[in-house]
Structures are given as C-alpha cells and as structure tokens.
Amino acid sequence: MSDSKLKIAFIVSEVEDIIKTGGLADVAKALPLAYEALGHEVCIVMPAYQVVIDQFNLTQHGEFTSSMRQFKRYEHDLGNVKVHLIGHTCFDREGLYAENNVAYSDNGERFGLFSAAVIDVLQAVNFQPDIMHCNDWHTGLVPFFVKHNQQQFAEGFFANTKTALTIHNAAFQGSFELHEIPMMQPYHQALHFDQHPHINMMKVGIAHADKITAVSPTYAQEILTDLGGHGLHYVLQNRSSDLKGILNGCDYSQWDPTTDPFIPAHFDINDLSGKAKCKAALQAKAGFTDSPDTPLIGMVCRLTAQKGFDYIVPILRDLMAHNLGLVIVGTGDPLVCQQLADVSRMHPTKFKFIHGFEPELAHLVEAGSDFFLMPSEFEPCGLNQMYSLAYATLPIVRNVGGLSDTVVGIDQNPQEATGFVFDSPSPEALLICIRRALLLYREQPDLFVTMQKRAMETKFTWSDAAIQFEALFQRALH
Ligand code: GLC
C-alpha cells in the first residue's frame, strides 16, 4: 500500500507565485508540487483574493452554494497542480488578513466561510480526497467540517477522507467570540461549548484533525511545553500521539547560487569568487564603501518581536563600535521600523535599514552577506537560514525550533559546524555570539571557508519532507 497513489487536497490561505505574505506561501507551493512529483493526485484550495483575480485575470469557473451563501470558483495552474480559488465579497480587500498592520475584525467569519466552502467546492469539482492537508488557523475549521459531514452522511463524499493540520506558527490561533462568526451559530451544539462560546480555530483544528504536524521536530516538542506552547500545550498534549515534527524543505530551484537570476554573479562550492562580487554589490546597495575584508551581516524578515528585535535593537549601538556592515531588510511593526531607521541614520557607513521586501533584495542579501542574522525568540521552522546555508552565508541563530534542527553551532560541534548558535533570549547572549562570529572571520579565515563549504553541502529537500508526510498519511488511512 505504501506506493499507492493518494488524492490530496492542500488547503491554505496563501501560495507562493500567486500571493504571499510569509513562509507559509513557500511551503504551500513546494509541498503540493513535491506530492505531485511522488505521483499523488493533488489540488490546492485557497481564497480568491480580488488582487489575485485581477493580477492573473482569472475567469470564473462556476458557482456553488455553501453556508447558504453564493461563492464563485476560479481556477489557476501551479505547475501540474490545479488551484481552486474560492471567491466571495469578503475577500475583495486590499490585504489578506490585515491592513496597515491591523487585522480585519471579521477574519473569523471570512476564514470560517472559506473553510466551510472547501467542503462544497471539492464536491463541486468532484475531487474526493483521501487526505485534506490543512495549514494554520485559517483552515483550522476544515477538520471539524469534515468530521461533521462524516457524522451527517455516513456513506457521503468524505466518508473515507482523513485530515491533517500543519502548524506553521502556533502564536497565531484565530480566536473569536462565537457571535463574531455568525456562520458558526448552527454548529453551536456540535462544538460543545461550556459557559463561554468562544472559538479558537487552531484549537478546533488540533482537536479534530486525524494527524497534526509542526514544521520542525524541535518545534513539535516545544509546543508541548508551557513555555513554547503559546497556550496550546494542553490541547496538544492530548493529541501528542498524533503529533509529528516534519522539517520543511528548501526550494533549491529558487535558491541556487549557481543559477539565481537576481544576483550579479554566480558561485559554487569550488569557486566562491562570485560571492565576493555579490558582497560588493550589496555594500554598494547599502551605501557602504567597497571593502572585501569587512564582515557583512545581513537580515531579511518580518519586523516582529518573534524575530528577536527585543534583543537586537538594544545592542545595535554596541555593534556599531565594531568594524562591520549590517543590512536589515523588512517590513512590519512601525515601532521597530522607526528604531532601525534612527540607528541607520546615525551610522550610515555601517548600518542600513531597507524598509521593503522585494525578492531581488532578499536574494542579494543572502548571496552578498558573510553572516545571516536570525536570532528569533521562537521559530517554528524558518526558511531564510536554509537559504543562507545554500549561499555560504553563515547563520547566527538562537537555539530554538527549526533553527536548532538546521544549523550546527561552532561551539556545539566544531567538526560539523555551519553557523553560530546561542541559547538565552537576551541582548547580551546575542552580542557575545555575534562577536564570536566576527572573531572567527578575522582570526580563522580558513575555518570560515571550511564552514561555508560545509553549509553549502547541507541539504533539506522537499522530497524528503513529502516522503515523511506520505508515510504519515498512510498511517492515518490504515
Ligand atoms: C511561519 C513560521 C516559520 C516557518 C513558516 C513556514 O512563517 O514562522 O518559522 O518557516 O511558517 O512553515
């Protein structure tokens, strides 16, 4: 049975190449394609945001009714995978989840409607899935609706369907009062409320999915604890025998320094000279002087506390006393933007904050930096540290989540080291770790190059991840 072909519906709120706000979208493209490459029949179901309809000039492929509302269905192709996009006026907005950093107040209703409509759209297109692979809180109600449908129609369309929920970030849970989600009123009984009718969509998903995964083995352990569980540890502990950590892969077709169209020069493990050209280009972009021997640290991320800014910002001035360059690229929390912009203005020859997010820039930072900074407070998986390794840019990371599973610190294991790892979520620990990296760069250049080459040899493939999911799905089905 292990080589039998599965029908997998991948349910998600964003997909790379269609619309993206974060790492979730990278996974939502790569993993379905990896399933397809293993021979499974796959479709993706996502909301039809108006911006997507406009950008791709999508035409309607039919209408269907769900929760007593009319929905439109659109289609798009992602490689060989069919994408069904569910259209409703609640997705005719500028943002996906928020505008000006403020979440839409009716997100519960929006993603509740989407999740219920998934059940109906799959029937409309006659895609009868063995597995519905759901992702994060936006799709947390899907496993509930599948179970509900199975109870109502024992011989129905979803009678043999199993559900899996992948947790990409347990800090975002989609928590609402029942009255904020009018479409859920009819399910009042089925949801077994006690006194207080409150819906936490991630929790509902965890309680009803047949299998639960987290995006790295270490994060799967962390979310079972009081400290790392974002308040979900009790409900996860109840499901721990169905919880598994499966490490995300890296899309090496997009992140390959030998072919990357965004970078000014290519390089590989045998010849790193192209990387020096990328460094010069990044220094020029940042307005720094061209200085091959000055260590250059890059960082690309959403500007949120999760990414460690509570301990980066306090040490910026200390760092400016060193001979280095630091480039931070990102968008997000206005206060963090302000703080970074202030320091950038005061130290224009050493620190550049670029407020924005263009793929060209992200690729240039990965290729042109000597070190990549990723000191996250928590990190379910993290993708940028994998890109850094592929580009011989040594990661400086905190020992959490997927960062622990992908980077080997010089002081943990010198023979296998690919980066620099610190433990305590404090400015002091981060500063010591960065100084350790700078010292090695200056004093042990040969070791630095050895680590760069080892980093480039480290591979995390989507096909490995897909094989692990396949085994998990088979267990759920038998
Ligand atoms: C979320 C997590 C990140 C993970 C990504 C893809 O953005 O914060 O760690 O890599 O999802 O799973």
Q: Is residue 262 part of a domain?
A: no
Predicted pLDDT at 44: 98
Q: Is residue 221 part of a domain?
A: yes
403 CA distance to ligand 1 middle (Å): 11
Q: At 39, list the tokens.
A: 């021979």
Atom of ligand 1 nearest to the CA of 380: 9
> Does the Cβ of 215 fall within 6 Å of ligand 1?
yes
Residue with the smallest CA separation from ligand 1 atom 5 is: 23
Q: Is residue 29 part of a domain?
A: yes
Predicted pLDDT at 197: 85
> Does the Cβ of 24 fall within 6 Å of ligand 1?
yes
169 CA distance to ligand 1 middle (Å): 6
> Does the Cβ of 23 fall within 6 Å of ligand 1?
yes
Per-residue burial over 4-33, b = 16 or more CB atoms within 10 Å of its CB, e = otherwise: eebbbbbbbbbbbebbbeebbbbbbbbbbb
Beta strands 41-47 and 7-11, pairing class: parallel
Predicted pLDDT at 188: 83
What is the domain count for the chain? 2
Q: Are residues 71 and 144 in the same domain?
A: yes
Predicted pLDDT at 195: 67
Predicted pLDDT at 3: 55
Predicted pLDDT at 205: 97
Q: Tell me the C-alpha distance between 23 and 14, whole Å.
A: 10
Q: At 361, list the tokens.
A: 């820039």
* Pocket mutation for ligand 1, best pick of 222, 378, 383 (most atoms within 8 Å of C-beta): 383
Q: Is residue 473 part of a domain?
A: yes
> Does the Cβ of 389 fall within 6 Å of ligand 1?
no
The one-letter code for the residue type at 79 is G
Q: Are residues 93 and 64 in the same domain?
A: yes
* Pocket mutation for ligand 1, best pick of 20, 138, 168 (most atoms within 8 Å of C-beta): 168
Q: Are residues 397 and 431 in the same domain?
A: yes
The one-letter code for the residue type at 303 is L
Extract the residue ranges of the chain whose pLDDT is less than 70.
1-3, 193-195
User: Is residue 329 left, alpha or beta, with left meaning phi > 0 and alpha meaning psi from -120 to 50?
Assistant: beta
Q: What is the DSSP string of 317-369?
A: HHHTTSS-EEEEEE-B-HHHHHHHHHHHHH-TTTEEEEE---HHHHHHHHHH-
Paired with 395 in beta bridges are: 372
Residue with the smallest CA separation from ligand 1 atom 12 is: 168
Q: Are residues 70 and 218 in the same domain?
A: yes
Q: Is residue 266 part of a domain?
A: no
Q: Is residue 143 part of a domain?
A: yes
Q: Are residues 453 and 312 in the same domain?
A: yes
pTM score, whole prediction: 0.95
Q: Are residues 294 and 211 in the same domain?
A: no
Residue with the smallest CA separation from ligand 1 atom 1 is: 168
Q: Are residues 245 and 279 in the same domain?
A: no
Q: Is residue 393 part of a domain?
A: yes
Q: What is the DSSP string of 154-191?
A: TTSTTTT-EEEEEES-TT---EEEGGG-GGGGGGTTTT
* Pocket mutation for ligand 1, best pick of 12, 16, 20, 24 (most atoms within 8 Å of C-beta): 24
pLDDT in tens, 414-433: 999 999 999 999 999 999 99
Predicted pLDDT at 13: 98
Q: Are residues 214 and 324 in the same domain?
A: no
* Half-sphere exposure of residue 124: CA atoms within 13 angstroms, side-chain side: 21
Q: At 363, list the tokens.
A: 């690729």
62 CA distance to ligand 1 middle (Å): 33
Q: Are residues 66 and 205 in the same domain?
A: yes
> Does the Cβ of 383 fall within 6 Å of ligand 1?
yes
59 CA distance to ligand 1 middle (Å): 31
Q: Are residues 473 and 399 in the same domain?
A: no
Residue with the smallest CA separation from ligand 1 atom 10 is: 382
CATH of the domain at 352: 3.40.50.2000
Predicted pLDDT at 75: 98
Q: Is residue 2 part of a domain?
A: no
- Give the C-alpha distances (Å, rounded to integers) separating 48 from 41, 74, 125, 307, 391: 22, 7, 16, 30, 35
> Does the Cβ of 6 fall within 6 Å of ligand 1?
no
Range of the domain at 77: 7-249+462-477
> Does the Cβ of 409 fall within 6 Å of ligand 1?
no
Q: Are residues 194 and 329 in the same domain?
A: no
Q: Are residues 436 and 400 in the same domain?
A: yes
Atom of ligand 1 nearest to the CA of 376: 9
